[in-house]
């Protein structure tokens, strides 16, 4: 039977620490956008308190979680027992990106990751900090058993061979935008176009005007549609619309004559 709690209990925290993998789910505001679910391994998650967790994010080819959190802050972290008693747990709340090399990042790294295998790993990209407002548990009776063999260190080995400049080059090539064209990495040392202020502690998500328009066709809803796509996609659709419109106009004129 499913149960809901207002915070992470000591029993919850102890169970979370035993899990070898968890999943992070985020999504953009646009209902047509890509819902993302990312599996996370290694000893990267920490329970900071009854209503807060964080995890150390390593570099990868996608930037969906960061992009979605910067736009709307929604996040769900899910765990499932693959051994022992069955259980599924979801931590539902809001999250924000703590950028690598920022004072807050360095403080969290020192306090919670010193001595871990990830502390000196190359390619650390951020710490995702989540404020948990709901903890949900359910049976997990249909989750299969799996035997844990050990961590897969391929990603760590891959980035440990790269210099700082090569890692930044990877970010510039792979992490500039989400799949839906939302801004990705925001780091001043990559140049002016990358500069962006991530939300700080206690700072609310401020949605752009186009994202808060009422339902129905309006100036803001049209703008929302434009902003939700990439520049290339919008240009392609607009060009196709102009071409179709021009063709219909030409056909109409020929019929008149």
Cα dihedral 199, 203, 209, 213 sign: positive
Nearest to 112 by CA among 94, 125, 127: 127
Contact, 95 vs 75, CB < 8 A? yes
Q: What is the pLDDT of residues 124-136, one digit of tens each?
A: 999 999 999 999 9
Rounded Cα distance, 7 and 30, in Å? 29
At 217 the pLDDT is: 43
Rounded Cα distance, 48 and 51, in Å? 8
DSSP string, 2-34: -EEESS--HHHHHHHHH-S-EEEEE--SSTTSP
Rounded Cα distance, 179 and 119, in Å? 29
Contact, 28 vs 68, CB < 8 A? yes
Q: What is the CATH number of domain 3-206?
A: 2.30.110.10
Overall residue count recorded for the chain in this entry? 257
pTM: 0.78
Local confidence band at 244 (pLDDT 50, 70, 90 cut-offs): confident
Q: What is the pLDDT of residues 199-225, one digit of tens each?
A: 777 777 665 554 444 444 444 445 544
* Domains of the chain, residue spans: 3-206, 219-256
């Amino acid at each position: 039977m499913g149960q809901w709690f207002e915070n992470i209990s000591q029993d919850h925290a102890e169970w979370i620490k035993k899990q070898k993998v968890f999943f992070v789910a985020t999504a953009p505001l646009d209902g047509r956008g890509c819902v993302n679910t990312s599996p996370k391994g290694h000893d990267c998650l920490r329970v900071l308190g009854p209503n807060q967790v964080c995890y150390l994010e390593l570099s990868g080819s996608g930037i969906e979680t960061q992009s979605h959190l910067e736009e709307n802050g929604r996040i769900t972290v899910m765990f499932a027992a693959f051994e022992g008693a069955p259980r599924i747990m979801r931590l539902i709340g809001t999250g924000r990106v703590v950028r690598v090399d920022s004072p807050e990042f360095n403080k969290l790294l020192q306090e919670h990751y010193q001595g871990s295998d990830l502390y000196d790993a190359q390619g650390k990209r951020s710490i995702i900090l989540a404020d948990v407002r709901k903890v949900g548990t359910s049976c997990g009776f249909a989750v299969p058993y799996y035997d844990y063999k050990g961590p897969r260190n391929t990603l760590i080995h891959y980035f440990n061979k790269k210099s700082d400049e090569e890692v930044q080059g990877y970010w510039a090539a792979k992490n500039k935008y989400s799949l839906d064209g939302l801004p990705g990495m925001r780091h001043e040392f990559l140049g002016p176009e990358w500069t962006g202020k991530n939300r700080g502690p206690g700072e609310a998500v401020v949605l752009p005007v186009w994202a808060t328009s009422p339902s129905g066709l309006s100036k803001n809803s049209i703008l929302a549609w434009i902003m939700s796509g990439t520049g290339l996609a919008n240009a392609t659709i607009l060009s196709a619309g102009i071409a179709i419109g021009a063709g219909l106009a030409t056909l109409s004129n020929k019929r008149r004559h």
